[in-house]
Amino acid sequence: MTMKLDHRKVAKVGRGRLTHLAAILLAALPALPAPALAQTAEGTDPVIEAGVGDEAVDLGADAGDGGDRGDGFYCGERKLGQWFYCDRPKSRPVAPKAAAPVQSASQRMAAIAKQLDELKARAILEPTEANVIAYVRFQREQLDRASTFSDTWQRALWQNPDIDYTLQRPVSTVAKRAWSDNRTADRDQVLSRLGQRYGMFYFFAQSCAACEVFSPILRSVADSHRISVMAVSTDGGPSRTFPNYVVDSGQRARMGVPLATPALVLFDTVTRKTVPIGFGVMSADEIMERIFMLTNTKVGSDY
């Protein structure tokens, strides 16, 4: 028996299978545009163009509108973001590195001293070769730093005379001798005129052994520079060096002189003020130097 095929039925069945295949292809290729899917080898298929083609257009719109969200069909409905990268991984914000605090010079010096003490203590408590070498090397670094500072200091003084104190008070043997000679000449000149304005009060006591030693020294200075001396006995006893003494009748208290003997006080006849020179035994050179400084130099100018 011979079966005759109805070509129209075959075409209809083939067209249905083609429609089903197109749907499967659309599921696998969502990004293809609708017009491309609607085209067949024979032309435009009205079923695909009217039905499946519309679905393809909608899927393409969802994919375009999704942006970072990805395709709406696969990412939203089927939830295949694991494979289709629906959610783009977000980069973690990099925290800015905090700037290291700037240490002051004093803080750096304190840190160096602390580290040196730590290395020294470790070398003493654990005297291994490595610990001792670490301490010696670090100490040597600080010694080199100190030597560099000292060298720079000396060079700066040589080139900047305004900060060189040795020009005011020399330390070398030759310069110091010249400075001392000039100082002595200026002091003698001042003391030679001192008697015209100043006088001295000398408080002593007969029972004071130091007064026996100091009285002749004071007499030699007063005579050599023609300075008047008023000797005051605090206990009423005499003095062999100053026979023209007077007994204390309140002079000491009025001048505010402490209860110590021997005591030497300079009296300014112009300002009517007293200037204590010193207490106890003093040499002749020390007496003259103190008088010169107290009467002819400003505080801080000689140092």
Average pLDDT of the chain is 78
- Contact between 139 and 123 under an 8 Å Cβ cutoff? The reply is no
Residues 71 and 132 in one domain: no
Residues 230 and 148 in one domain: no
| Residue 52 Cα distances to 55, 57, 76, angstroms | 5, 9, 20
Give the three-state DSSP class for 267.
Answer: strand
Q: What is the reported pLDDT for 90? A: 67
Please check whether residue 179 lies inside any domain of the structure: no
Please check whether residue 184 lies inside any domain of the structure: no
Residues 197 and 154 in one domain: no
If one compares 179 and 93, the residue with the highest pLDDT of the two is 179
Token representation of residue 70: 């990805």
pTM of the entire predicted model: 0.50
- Contact between 15 and 45 under an 8 Å Cβ cutoff? The reply is yes
**Residue 81 — very low, low, confident or very high, per pLDDT cuts 50/70/90?**
low
Q: What is the reported pLDDT for 217? A: 95
Adjacent-strand bridge partners of 40: 43
Respond yes or no on whether the N-terminal peptide bond of residue 262 is cis (omega within 30° of 0): yes
pLDDT, one tens digit per residue, over 82-96 is 555 566 656 777 777
All residues at 6 or more sequence positions from 226 whose CB lies less than 8 Å from its CB, including other chains: 192, 195
- Contact between 160 and 265 under an 8 Å Cβ cutoff? The reply is no
Q: What is the CATH number of the domain that holds 257?
A: 3.40.30.10
pLDDT, one tens digit per residue, over 206-246 is 999 999 999 999 999 999 888 899 999 998 899 989 999 99
Please check whether residue 102 lies inside any domain of the structure: no
Q: Is 286 exposed, middle or buried (CB count within 10 Å of its CB: 0-12, 13-18, 19+)?
A: middle
Q: Which of 97-111, 113-127, 212-226 has the lowest mean pLDDT?
A: 97-111
Residues 34 and 46: their CA atoms lie apart, in Å, by 13
- Contact between 254 and 236 under an 8 Å Cβ cutoff? The reply is no
Please check whether residue 92 lies inside any domain of the structure: no
Structural element, H or E, at residue 143: helix 129-159
Residues 259 and 290 in one domain: yes
If one compares 44 and 285, the residue with the highest pLDDT of the two is 285
Please check whether residue 276 lies inside any domain of the structure: yes
Residues 218 and 278 in one domain: yes
Please check whether residue 61 lies inside any domain of the structure: yes
Last residue of a domain, one of 168, 199, 216: 168
Last residue of a domain, one of 69, 84, 99: 84
**Residue 66 — very low, low, confident or very high, per pLDDT cuts 50/70/90?**
very low
- Contact between 45 and 21 under an 8 Å Cβ cutoff? The reply is no
Residues 118 and 199 in one domain: no
Residues 158 and 206 in one domain: no
Residues 140 and 195 in one domain: no
**Residue 181 — very low, low, confident or very high, per pLDDT cuts 50/70/90?**
confident
| Helix spans in 193-268 (H) | 209-224, 251-255
If one compares 16 and 265, the residue with the highest pLDDT of the two is 265
Of 146, 121, 144, 151, give the one whose Cα is nearest residue 134.
121
Residues 254 and 196 in one domain: yes
Q: What is the reported pLDDT for 201? A: 93
pLDDT, one tens digit per residue, over 124-177 is 999 999 999 999 999 999 999 999 999 999 999 999 988 888 888 888 889 888
Q: Angle at the Cα of 39 (from 34 to 45), degrees rounded to 5?
A: 100
Residues 69 and 127 in one domain: no
Number of domains in the chain: 3
Q: What is the reported pLDDT for 93? A: 76
All residues at 6 or more sequence positions from 131 whose CB lies less than 8 Å from its CB, including other chains: 119, 122, 123
Please check whether residue 135 lies inside any domain of the structure: yes
Q: What is the reported pLDDT for 59? A: 42
Please check whether residue 175 lies inside any domain of the structure: no
Supply the range of the domain harboring residue 45: 10-84
